Structure 1
Amino acid sequence: MPPLRVLISGGGIAGNALAFWLSKIGHDITVVERFSSLRDTGLQLDLRGHGIEVMKRMGLQEAFAAQVAPEKGLQLVDRRGRRRAFFPSTAPGDNVQNFTSEFEIMRGDMCRILHDAAVKRGAKFIFGTSIEKFEDKGGSVAVRFADGRDDTFDLVVGADGLNSRTRKMMLGPGTEDGLRPLDGVVAGYFTMPQPMQEGEEYLATVYMAPGNRGLMIRRSNPETWQVYLGGKTDAFKNIPRGDVKAEKAVMTQMLQGAGWETENVLKAMNTDNDFYLERMAVVKLDRWFRGRVVLVGDAAWCPTANTGMGTTSSVVGAYILAGEIERYCGRGTAKQAGKSNAGENIAKALAAYDAKFRPFMDQVQKGVGEGSNWGYSLMSSSLGVSVMYLFAAVASFFRVNIGAMVLKEQVKDWDLPNYGELLKEV
């Protein structure tokens, strides 16, 4: 069939992965990213379960392996910095990843790997603008960009994250957009200079403090710490999203006096750095598409960082969407003439994508933002935190895979489809 003209909004993990697959099968792919260049920044993330297999099917295992972060495991420490529990990284051949996966990588490195692979396949990237509005005309989607340009596409894909503007436009004004905040749960992230000390190991180090607060420190190089800090509070309710100065002030107030490295971290946080705050939320929609507009990644189904499956879900979801487009619409080839029935086939592909991937995401999202918050209830008091540390110490002693216990990698009774045509080289 003639190549589909596809516009992808968002040059992150999901958008770049989808651009790779669709470009590989001959379609005309444009990725628009509102930032002025590729956002190859961010802290550490990982791949798990089916995400690892998709990465291998992309042929990117060697590139990924060259950038794997050196983290060797996770430890929990008390307010004096004494180790209370330790969980080693996943050993090669283990069926389920531990908290520290075999496939840890910096977000920027993964984003760059996917971007470069997509460009090599022919995807075009436009930086410094975004979709201002679009109109689904039935046979095409007319798009107005923020820089004033107009264009028309066969399909528009929203891969623009948790607070997706594409999702809001797709659903229309006055429609609930599926964003469900996790009742005051926040996480702040930044990097700070901290030279590696003699005898220090590459470990993720977690500290929990009473009052539903805590922090984690890890490093991927000998010069800096990656800092994750936060907890549960209503103090951010009236702070505008993106008001970094106000967010830092509230985070400082929330964590002061918590113990361990907190004061050192807060001092570094209150300087000019790459701090950003995530107000944790899950996205749940009854459908991930409307007409010729479809969502992928956090824009469609954000499972929150609590599941450990955000990156994996993005990579697997992009693969499923591309696979169903190939199955119903075929490869793009400019040599093929004749009348196109792309509209009917696109509708079938999007419906199949939704039906096939939804059971996966239902399991990953199950329980997130629902029911009891027993973990935060425990962490509200010193006694509760002591119980959490005791539980972790026992699990560590018996070499329990803490990742399998608290993350959502194990998706049952769901097999990764084998899109043979998608994997063929032309």
Structure 2
Amino acid sequence: MAPLKILICGGGIAGPALAFWLARSGHHVVIVERHPALRATGAQVDLREQGIDMVKKMGLDETFRSKLVDETGFALVDSEGRIRATVLANRSGRGAQSFTSEYEIMRGDVVRILYDETKDAENVEYVFGKTVESFEQDGDNVVARFSDGSSDRFDILVGADGQGSRIRRAILPPNTPEPYRRLGIYIAYWFIPRTAEDTILRRTYLAPGGRMVFRRSHNPTETQVYFFLRDDNPEFQSIPRASVEKQKEFWAEKFKDAGWQMNRFIEGMKTTENFYCQEVVQVITDTWSKGRVVLLGDAAHCASPFSGMGTTGALIGAYVLAGEIVQNPDNIPKAFANYDKKLRPFVDTIQNIRTEMFQLGMPKSWWGIKIFYFVAWLLCLLRIPTLVAMFSKGERGGWKIPDYPELKPAR
């Protein structure tokens, strides 16, 4: 078979991870990214279970380790900043990760690693400031029409364009409801200057009204702040689409009386240039492909930040999709059907989030918070979280990564 010409819409993590494998298999890959430059920004992410194995399979373990954030674990603190419970990262080499993974890393560093691994390949091309406006397909090709007015013909179009995917919207049947499972939680995060008290032990604080705050540091000069709000008011769904100024006003108003270091956090939010706000959702759809168009990563199966498996899911999905394309280059529908069949059990596992845990972990009342703090203190005193991590399986759901002998990294 002649090499396939593959268009990937989205230059985040999933798209370049797919290019990593396809380029090494001799196929030609074009990645279009709507941002004018590499979007190597974002908050702290992590790798867990199968994601750690995947990085090793890619031959990138040492590269990832060189960029890891040194976070020793997390501490639950009260309104005075006093530590009430602590759970350290599981660095034993056995079992699953704890609340803090051994592989904590900034999203931007993951994006840069994958970009650096693919940008100089002769058969990979990155195009920034451009996206797919529409496409048409027949049994043999996909014709993509781009935002700059140009068009081109490809063998495959991959939608790796995030949870709000336009490619997904185009392949779903008409009048299909939005494929979102709304969790009733909103997140905002930003960077502020680091101070001496901002250690490498992440702090977590709970306030009444379903409010939670993270403070964590990733380099000598910056600290990340996360605000979480549990509220199922449908009017809040418009907040992530409002102007950044309006978003900041919303979060400042909601957290101004929360206690702990709110004045510092909110003042830092006003001037930060690295601010992001989102509604926490999962993408759940039975349709991952249509003809020669296929979805990847969050566009297909966003698991939400609370799963802890978003980055892992992107890397695993890219590997499985690449493996099926390389094994079935002359039968793309079969490749996509196999991709769905093999990956969906894993996706079902990482999307299996018990929403009642949000009610327990983000209480509305002071009494609920006091009870949570007491239970957390008792569990940590008995070392229950540490023991659970050490004796749990290192694979989510027991799902094992398929073996594709044809996919071999260069190193």
TM-score band, normalised by shorter chain: over 0.9
Residue matched to 1:72: 72
Instruction: Give CA deviations for 1:222-246 in whole Å, capped at 9, x if unaligned.
Output: 2111111121132523436152111
Residue matched to 2:129: 128
Residue matched to 2:404: 419
Residue matched to 2:303: 303
Report if the CA contact (8 A) 1:73-1:86 is conserved. yes
- Separation in 2 of the partners of 1:296 and 1:408? 26
Percent same amino acid among aligned pairs?
42
Amino acid paired to 1:399: R
Report if the CA contact (8 A) 1:89-1:98 is conserved. yes
1:74-89 to structure 2, matched below 5 A, reads 74-89=74-89
* 1:396 and 2:394 correspond: no
- Separation in 2 of the partners of 1:287 and 1:238? 26
- Separation in 2 of the partners of 1:29 and 1:238? 36
Residue matched to 1:364: 350
Q: CA deviation at 1:264?
A: 1.1
* 1:347 and 2:333 correspond: yes
Report if the CA contact (8 A) 1:7-1:30 is conserved. yes
For residues 175 and 409 of structure 1, do their structure 2 counterparts lie closer, same or farther at Cα, with a shift above 3 Å needed? farther
- Separation in 2 of the partners of 1:373 and 1:272? 29
For residues 182 and 264 of structure 1, do their structure 2 counterparts lie closer, same or farther at Cα, with a shift above 3 Å needed? same
Q: CA RMSD in A?
A: 2.1
- Separation in 1 of the partners of 2:120 and 2:400? 29
Instruction: Give CA deviations for 1:145-181 in whole Å, capped at 9, x if unaligned.
Output: 0011100111111111111111111225532241222
SS class of match (2:119): helix
Amino acid paired to 1:422: L
1:137-152 to structure 2, matched below 5 A, reads 137-152=138-153
Report if the CA contact (8 A) 2:74-2:86 is conserved. yes
Residue matched to 1:337: none
Q: CA deviation at 1:351?
A: 0.3
SS class of match (2:407): helix
Report if the CA contact (8 A) 2:59-2:409 is conserved. no
SS class of match (2:274): coil
Bigger shift: residues 260-269 or 409-418:
409-418
Report if the CA contact (8 A) 2:58-2:409 is conserved. no
Question: Mind listing any 5+ residue stretches in structure 2 that lack a counterpart?
Answer: none
Residue matched to 2:280: 280
For residues 17 and 44 of structure 1, do their structure 2 counterparts lie closer, same or farther at Cα, with a shift above 3 Å needed? same
SS class of match (1:237): helix
- Separation in 2 of the partners of 1:38 and 1:424? 23
For residues 368 and 247 of structure 1, do their structure 2 counterparts lie closer, same or farther at Cα, with a shift above 3 Å needed? farther
Instruction: Give CA deviations for 1:349-403 in whole Å, capped at 9, x if unaligned.
Output: 100000000001111112455x785326x61000001111112112211223379
Instruction: Give CA deviations for 1:241-299 in whole Å, capped at 9, x if unaligned.
Output: 15211111111111111010112101111224211101010001113111111111111
- Separation in 2 of the partners of 1:171 and 1:196? 51
SS class of match (1:320): helix
Structure 1 stretches of 4+ moved >6 Å = none
Residue matched to 1:334: none
TM-score by length of 2: 0.94
Residue matched to 1:229: 227
* 1:41 and 2:41 correspond: yes
Amino acid paired to 1:387: I
Amino acid paired to 1:258: A
Q: CA deviation at 1:99?
A: 1.4
Residue matched to 1:167: 168
Residue matched to 1:383: 367
Report if the CA contact (8 A) 1:236-1:250 is conserved. no
SS class of match (1:67): coil
- Separation in 1 of the partners of 2:92 and 2:103? 10
SS class of match (2:343): helix
Aligned length: 406
Question: Mind listing any 5+ residue stretches in structure 1 that lack a counterpart?
Answer: 330-341
- Separation in 1 of the partners of 2:296 and 2:240? 26
- Separation in 2 of the partners of 1:203 and 1:321? 37
Residue matched to 2:200: 202
- Separation in 2 of the partners of 1:170 and 1:368? 30
* 1:292 and 2:278 correspond: no
Q: CA deviation at 1:196?
A: 2.9
Report if the CA contact (8 A) 1:404-1:410 is conserved. no
- Separation in 2 of the partners of 1:107 and 1:222? 17
Q: CA deviation at 1:40?
A: 0.8
Amino acid paired to 2:382: F
Report if the CA contact (8 A) 1:257-1:263 is conserved. no
* 1:314 and 2:298 correspond: no
* 1:7 and 2:24 correspond: no
Residue matched to 1:338: none
Q: CA deviation at 1:425?
A: 5.1
